[in-house]
Amino acid sequence: MTINTAGALPAGMSAVLARIDVIRSTAATPPFSVPSLAAASGVLNNASATAQDTLAAAGGAPTTSSSSSPSSAPGTSASSIVSGKAQVSAQSTDTALPDWAASLPTNAQRWVPTIVSESKAAGIDPRLTAAVMWSESGFRPDARSGAGAIGLMQLMPSTAAALGADPSVPEQNIHAGVKYLASNLRRFGSVELAAAAYNAGGGAVARYHGIPPYAETQNYVKVVMGKYHTLGGGA
């Protein structure tokens, strides 16, 4: 190791250099035994490591993996490890949501876990629930219709009351809306008819033996089905 002694030495460096000189002179003076030479060599190595640490602390050459601080894997910098942790964290967050959620608007993301859990509990495709909610309120919990429908799933107060829900509470609104959608799906056996019943009522679907001839309902079914397909449903 070559040490540049020009200028002021860092704190503790003079003592280190003095130790190295003493060790070198001792090792070079005969007679000496192999054990004493080995011991001197070990001390010299320790002194060299100390010198490198001292230089590093003073802004000189960086210390090697022999320093006491944790080291990364070969070829991996500390910054890349931190970056890797951030990537893992981001991936963990992303994988908490299903792939189809990426096709939803930004304001929908917070409701996806509830949509998934409530839909699975009711035995229906969460993508259908998301498509209905998207069509009904645009994922706005404060949405209100001219007819008096409330919240994310646009429940009429009477429907919400029959399902034991407070429609102004988003979680209860989703729970009741999913139950209502699931009951229509079981009753009519198709996604299109369940969507029609959600909009016009099950009585109208039963009376017309299909999608009622209402322009609003027919357009509503098309919108829901379009969003459902966008999310990968109905394939």
CATH number of the domain that residue 193 is part of: 1.10.530.10
For residue 136, pLDDT over 70 is answered with yes
CB count, 10 Å around CB of 114? 18
Q: Are residues 117 and 212 in the same domain?
A: yes
Whether the Cβ atoms of residue 160 and residue 150 lie closer than 8 Å to each other: yes
Same domain? For 214 and 107 the reply is yes
Question: In this structure, are 108 and 171 located in the same domain?
Answer: yes
Paired tokens of 58: 């003073």
* Residues 6+ away with beta carbon under 8 Å from 33: none
In the chain, what is the straight-line distance between the N-terminal and C-terminal CA atoms, in Å?
70
Query: Residue 220: pLDDT band by 50, 70, 90 thresholds?
Result: very high
Please, which pLDDT band fits residue 38 given cuts at 50, 70 and 90? very low
Look over the chain and give the mean of its residue pLDDT values, rounded to a whole number: 75
Q: How many domains does the chain have?
A: 2
Cα 147 to its chain centre, rounded Å, is 39
- Whether residues 142 and 221 share a domain: the answer is yes
Give the list of residues 6+ apart from residue 196 with CB closer than 8 angstroms, or none. Answer: 204, 205, 210, 211, 212, 217, 220, 221
In a domain, 143, yes or no: yes
- Inside any domain, residue 1: no
Confidence of residue 229 (pLDDT cuts 50, 70, 90): very high
Whose CA is closest to 72, among 59, 53, 85, 58?
A: 85
Band (54; pLDDT cuts 50, 70, 90): very low
Residues 22 and 124 reside in one and the same domain: no
Rounded to an integer, the average pLDDT of 157-178 is 97
Report pLDDT for 37.
41
pLDDT band at 96 (very low <50, low <70, confident <90, very high): confident
Distance CA 183, CA 189 (A): 10
Domain span at 44: 13-57
Burial bucket for residue 39 (CB in 10 Å: 0-12, 13-18, 19+): middle
For the range 56-64, what are the long-range contacts, defined as Cβ-Cβ under 8 Å and sequence gap of 24 or more? 57/10, 58/10, 58/11, 58/13, 60/10
What is the band of 234 on the pLDDT scale with cuts at 50, 70, 90?
confident
pLDDT over threshold 70, residue 60: no
Catalytic residues: 136
Mean pLDDT of 129-148: 97
